[in-house]
Chains A and B, each alone.
Chain A
Amino acid sequence: MRRTIPDAASPDAPLALVTRTGNALRLAALDAQAQSQGLVAGMTLADARARCPTLATCAADPEADARELDRLAVAMRRFTPMVALDPPDGLILDISGCAHLFGGEKALARAARREAGYASRCGFGPNATAARALARHGGKNSDVHALPVTALDLDDRALAALRRAGLRTIGDLARRPMSMIAARFGEQTVTRLRQILGEAASPIAPRRAETPIRAHARFPEPIARTDDVMDVIEHLLTEAARQMEERRIGGRRFLVRLIRSDGARRDLAIETAQPVRDPAAVLRLLRERIDTLADPIDPGFGFDSVHLAVPWTEPLADRQRSLDGGAQEAAREGVTALIDRLGVRLGPQRIRRLQPRDRHLPEAAQRLVPAAQAAAAGWPPTDGRPPRPLLLFDPPQSVAVIAGVPDGPPQRFRWRGRLHEVVLAEGPERIAAEWWRRQGGHHAGGAGRTRDYYRIEDSDGRRYWMFRHGLFGQEADIGWYLHGLFA
């Protein structure tokens, strides 16, 4: 399967992916149109441009290709459970016993190629090596004996030796005694030949899908009491915990589906900050979820079945408790459980933590992230830096200020209808705008306004952090803002 890249400027221009090998840019892959212009993979970009000036190029990204191939392999599970990768650009599907479900081999291949959505070639063979050789070297014929010897994927020396001996096709080679071939062209040639002819096994290593973590219970008679349902859910959670323990994973997301006897479905979902598999902890969160439901669960004539799925899992190794009885771990787990519980009840966006950011502007130097996603990050040391207020106004409060000299500290200011007399002032601490983050910020005046911060104390003994937004002589209508309260 050949990859093709969208977003080329004109859809009908020949397209090539280029990669840097050594010191030259070479073509790594081509579309059909570029091939029809006589370009081949491995050619330098300069040569290709000389032949075909309209060639559109993109950088080759082998990792993205590998990811895409993985995605395709998963998509191909629709057709057969046995899908193996043939890197960098092939997939091998074992369709024994599957083809009739899709109306025959040809129809299956058509459906699979349509599903893949790329330009592709396919080949059928009695074994994986033969199919691969037919797909890559076969063209229209389906007889392995007519394939050129290059289909054996041998190294250059062996290929040159075969060509010199006048052996052009696999059929030529197959008619010769194997011992002679082994003696003249190496053991590997015989192995490949026997695999293609089906005389030796050519196993594939299919990717197996991970079985999802699931548990369900069906009842002979519908049950209606919530307590009974919770008991069943606890039982299912224990079952899921056993499955997860075998694989050393824990769940981050749990989904409970209650199916009522009249067919109505009710889904309950919870997410946790850390992977868990303890049934009691999950059950507590589920109870919390049920308590906060806007419309309570209506059992109607009772529930027929309860299904539990754990769609999001993460590795969770068994941890050893420390020697002091695990008091510290218990405390940490207690806080995590509290965050989960409050997150389920109030919404995860309402439980947040402060995290530092490497930015200059005070309001951008920190951000609030949901506590469930917060990574433990050390706060940068504050020694040697000018003091910062305990509370920041968000947004800064506009104030009217009288200053002694235009670029001096404020002398009095009016805020929320009250006049404050400034007794003590210190500054300015100049914080420039982040010009490197702005389009055209490196031009004069394009960066945004510089702020001059003052620490001031008014006659009531309150300390504020105030800044002048802009520089005198450079900007008009300069404003003053309160940006924080000191203790």
Chain B
Amino acid sequence: MKRIRVILVLLLKNNGLYKPHKFKNPKYIGDPINAVKIFNEKEVDEIVILDIDATTKKKEPNYKLIEEIASECFMPMAYGGGINELSQAKKLFKLGVEKVVLNYAAYTNPHLIHEIASQYGNQSVVCSIDVGKNWLGKYYSALINGTKSVKETPIDLAKKYVQHGAGELFITAIYKENTYSGYDIELIKSITESVSVPVIASGGASSIKDFTDVINIGRASAVAAGSLFVFYGKEKGVLINFPSPEKLKNELFSKL
């Protein structure tokens, strides 16, 4: 049976977990360590933790908090936010982080991708691309929590990052985040057709059916979701949840 990674994305801000809507108005979810403990019990495949404040506020990664999270995280863990130098990546790997996620630094200093990959292997570097859509429906790449658009298209950046040694690409559709309207399959497909490394689809997941579609049609290698696993019902009350291994097997893996 083919297993696809279902990745949980948690966003950090001031030591807490938050969930924005289309990259805006973050809503408080809870304590990260508690949440990770619960997700462990639920046998999550893999976790991505992104500090959404670090680059905007020019902060270093919060090593103490990351260390605490990593010590409770018995699944593969990736961290992103505020990484600009090899030495920072090194420190993170030492704390128990498997992969680092580069977004702003990948764009401003792509050589860093190569530096980290050549020492820790390509599998340890994930490059993240945030994608916006303009009023004509054209895709653009954006930096700093979607606030700054750049001239290169998402496909341009994807190719460039892979050339520099990215082992995986994490593609987030900003206009889909926290909307429960399904992944942008067309966007993901355009990226998977342009590169050979695994592509993780993020933004818009509302059901296991969405996972199946973005994998079967968009050719994503893994699926990521945040809102789906932390909110519940119409009112979006905070409720940590994750599909059981049984459910994933019957509704996802068996349909690939």
A binds B: no
Report A's interface with B, CB cutoff 8 A: none
**Residues of B in contact with A (beta carbons under 8 Å apart):** none
